[in-house]
Structure 1
Amino acid sequence: MLQSIRDHAQGWIAWVIVGLIILTFALFGIDQYAKGDKIVVVAEVNGEDVTANEFLTLYSRQQARLKNQFGEMYDQVVKDEQLRDEVMDALIESEVVRQWADSHNMMISNQQLSATIESAEVFQKDGQFDQQRYQDILLQNGLNVARFEHEQRQFLIENQNRQLTMASAISNDTQLAQLAALQFQQRNVSYLRVDQRPFMQEAQITDDEIQAYYNQHKDDFITPEQVVLSYVLLSKKDLADKVSVDEATLKRYYQDNKDQFTQPEKRQASHILVKVDAESQDAEAQKTIKEIQAKLADGQDFAALAKAYSDDPGSANMGGDLGLFQQGMMVPAFDKAVFSMKLNEISTPVKTEFGYHLIKLTKIQPKKIQPFAEVKAEAETLYRRQQADKQYFDELEQLNTIAYEQADSLIPAADAVGLKIQTTEPFSRVGGDDEVTSNAKVLSAAFSEDVKKSGLNSTAIEISPDTSVVIRVKKVIDEKQQSLADVKVDIEKILKRKAGVKASAELAKTLREKLLKGEQKMADLEKDGVEYSNVGWLERENQRVLPQLTQAIFKAPKPKEGQSTYTTYALPTGDSVVIEVSAVKEGSLPDDKAQLAQMKAALVQLAGVSEADARIKAMVAAADIERKENYKTIKSAR
């Protein structure tokens, strides 16, 4: 069970991340689900459709993420068939959970929904929810409030389903000890790495093999559909640069906003900390504090006593000095004491989460209004930004309105706000290299029915908090099948690499068989192209070998009766390794109480995730599911 919990940890982290970004995700492409030439179904779950639009949206996003992660290694690491299966599994699971929530009348109250939306930073201004910003962002992304709030309510209901299961998770001391044995286990390891590159160089690829590969993988050699966009970019920075400023205006702004140019009062203090790590230590800590107070009353030096007694390693050697700080920078109780003291006064004991403090106030630096001459440049920046903020939202509304009302051209909208129409380089659905064509929301709009097929302007799209863009498609470049001559060199490289990977794996298998027979020791098998590494004792959390290799090492069988175990593993690079595990040390519970508490909390959390996943899998198994074959080959409309 505990190994299963470990294996689920990554899935739980992914779920939490999804929960944290859901509001931002909801702003991207939701309206496109409801659009298209016609509804194409890729699966049915209890009679409910999973559409091609839903599938392709998630598939494209995952594909783009993996390409960004693996770069040129993408084709070797990611199998398209497996990726499509994983995307389909995720969509089916989501639909099953949604249906279960509906059938059990699970509801999210208006108060819950409001609290979730208002706590999202994307809708906040100066740390507070801003209704106008909320509406502006939805408008910029082509969403109305009702539609957006419906989507949020659905997400919260699905998340509630998981939380119901996770809330019942428990753990015990035996499980904790077993988890520690796994988590902190060490293994004595050596390995041989068989380099694929020499085999690649030796591989001889024939024209017939190249032709056969081309015939079997023609879909991989299609230049994808591309578009060229015309766009109008509205930027607060550009607006700020154009704001007219003179000396008199800046002085008025300075006088009206002096608080922004006032350095707050700061105080400097020293302290002596006596830590309290547990309730049982409280009385002992108070006793120590009283001893220190008595020595201070006898006239002993505060700095000397701090060096002798303080449990704060950062300040003890400096006589307890904490430097200058302004109000609000320290924990509340400490902060309150410092800013209520007189100069050179020593406080009574102050209790915080760290323990007991004796504080001496050593300096008061009063607040100071900075002269205009010193802050003129800062005042100009702030004034320009203030004026640009006002102008930005006025022009954004005007831009959005005209782009919608006169949707067959960008010229009226651009002229209305005095902006130039710009043009992008051609780019595909994967995106381009600049801030406009690399933006996910721009990509979604550019290839949507309204913008690409119908030739209309988009609504204003926020590509950053300070920048929005309206786009229209200037040109569509159809996909094109590349000829064999165009890709022959690329195919030859692919086939040589495949040959190298295969030969490396075969040699690794041969070397493992020799080791199992006891014919030679691992170190004796090192030669050109075969590298020996004596790693020694290795823990799970290490930075000495690749994470994938670490995972393979700790999945390898344990040695028995002093006999090493040998396994092979293919690295993502294409090289193969032969792993020797010669001994194992089981981990033990940590002595650190805070770390132990964290482990207990993590165990309960991971157990809950494991139970929730198992429950959802059971729900999926009980559902009536029909997967259409078209999801294995379907592509975005071109």
Structure 2
Amino acid sequence: MFDFIRTHQRLMQFLLLILILPSFALIGISGYTNYVSGDHDLVKVGSGAVTQQMFDQARSNQLRQLQSSSQGGFDPAVLDNPQARAELLDSLINRQALIDTARAEHFSVSDTALRQSIAALPQLQENGRFSPELYNRTLAAMGLDTHDFEESQRAELALGRVLGPVARSAAVPATVVQRLETILTEQRTVRLKAFPATDYEKDISVSDDDIKAWYDQNKQSLELPQQAIVQYLLLNEAAAMKDLPEVSEDELRKYYDQNKSRYVRPPRVNVSHIQIDVPAGATGEQRKTAHDEAVKIASQLKANPDTFAEVAREKSQDAGTAKDGGKLGWITQGTWPAALEDAVFSLKKGAISGVIDGPGGFHIFRVNDTQPEHGETFEEARAKVETEVRRQLGSDRFAEMASKLTDLVYENPDSLEPASQALGLPIKTAAGIARDRLLASDEVKADAASSSADASLLGDVRVRRAVFANEALVEKQNTGVIELSPDTMIVLHVKEAVPAHIPELAQVSDHIRGVLEGQRARDAAAEAGKKLLAELSKSPSVTAPEGFGDAQSISRIDPRGLPKQLTDAAFAAPTDHLPQYVGVEGPQGYVLVRVEDAKAGTTDSPALATLPQQLAAAWGKAEEDAVLKALRTQLGVKMLPEAQEVIQGEKKS
């Protein structure tokens, strides 16, 4: 069973998505209310409810799916916030509204429709056809019987009938599509003049009083989250390769001989052939007839060897090669039966063999080209051989060190020192590891993880999650050994947990200075740009003023790489009198946009080919949302006080 699961992982993931839906799916809509009776409600929805148990199950499934799809790289903290919890609860309310409606309206699915739906699942098909054997094996591997699975599918199909017709019937009027195509393709010819903030930085001065005033007014925005200062051991390829013993000359030569095919390519020949078939179980007379035909062809070729390809196309009974003049391509020595190789490799370039008895019948070969054995001698390949041998030794040593590291960390849970001494791995220190990120170097007093050579490893979500586990952060136990990649492992020990705090002015003064300098430089750039904008707006010139770039034609569907802010400004400018000038402030400074021309575009752009389908999908989704909203109103959705506690994270299951 476990072998089946391992070899059908994508199929298992698909079925899990089906089976981890709220539990009503396994018992049918009719039994849903009884199933959850006694559980406590969060939201009343018609005659049903969204319960604490349902929310906890859905949240657990959500985490499991995301962790599975991200192969361990998903941070649960991303979902541990009021917005994520509210969105999950809202989706459960919508689902309960569909359940209540399907039950009240007696929506059902026939056995025929159910069978067709299951048979159409590509995950249960082999060679494009539904496979009963695969279906049964799959359900057996999941520990399910056909009744449970089919009832879950029946329930899902019944729910689909509540909103399915709404989305399928959605249609966007042709006039709307045409209008959007016109808007998306209309063109503006523009020139740009930039006022980069960096050009004004040299004239900016920021005093200590300015920094102090900004700090006093904005210190709350500087609050640093809880962070950890950690010690860690890193086991990687470099650590395993360190201080490896020297490899003797004899060992290197032995490795070269054992792996000679990697350094030396054996002889090979490029051949064509003509085949005269001998059917399986042929009589002696049939074999003689085929042999005589092959001899006749060989004699003909001996007289006219240059006609080999032509004769092969006409006479060869190997359909796969005959149309290409009998070409078989390059054959490396050691890959064919000995009898054939002896015949072929004894021929010179351009030579044609006699009749040879081989697989499938009688063959006549022509050698089109030859290549002798060639490659590197031991002396030429020595450096490469030594690198490979040392890497292999390093790999073996890495595996040994990894096993010892795991044991030592487990046996000494409150210190990295024993593992460090036993394995020769230095204990490193890093600070500024927060739950959601590595703090910037100017936010950390010393040993900032973000500026470490190991920053990418320390910032890995698996590392941060392990550091902030209760055992590591509070109890000061070592984390387990974390395998970040096949050749990189890390284990950490929290040296100090630093609570959330507002840093002292001295620590952030450089940061504040940079903020103020950047803001004042942007203000100066904007002032210069607005001054020129006012002048140009009073008397716009026909020709572009000095400093504006080349003219370029843009559209909403093809902005030619311009930021959306600039594109929106260009299309918002009036076009009754051109040129027009508009200014745009941005994080890099100020940009003046000169709009010189406005005209309609062509609506035959390939980029518009899927616009009707995209609009229909969006319109269908909007109509589904509207129907759901109406259903929720009709059913009288009532949020109970417990729901707000769950959303705020105050209520634990």
TM-score, normalised with respect to structure 2: 0.48
* Greater relative CO (CA pairs within 8 A, separation 6+): 1
Higher-Rg structure is 2
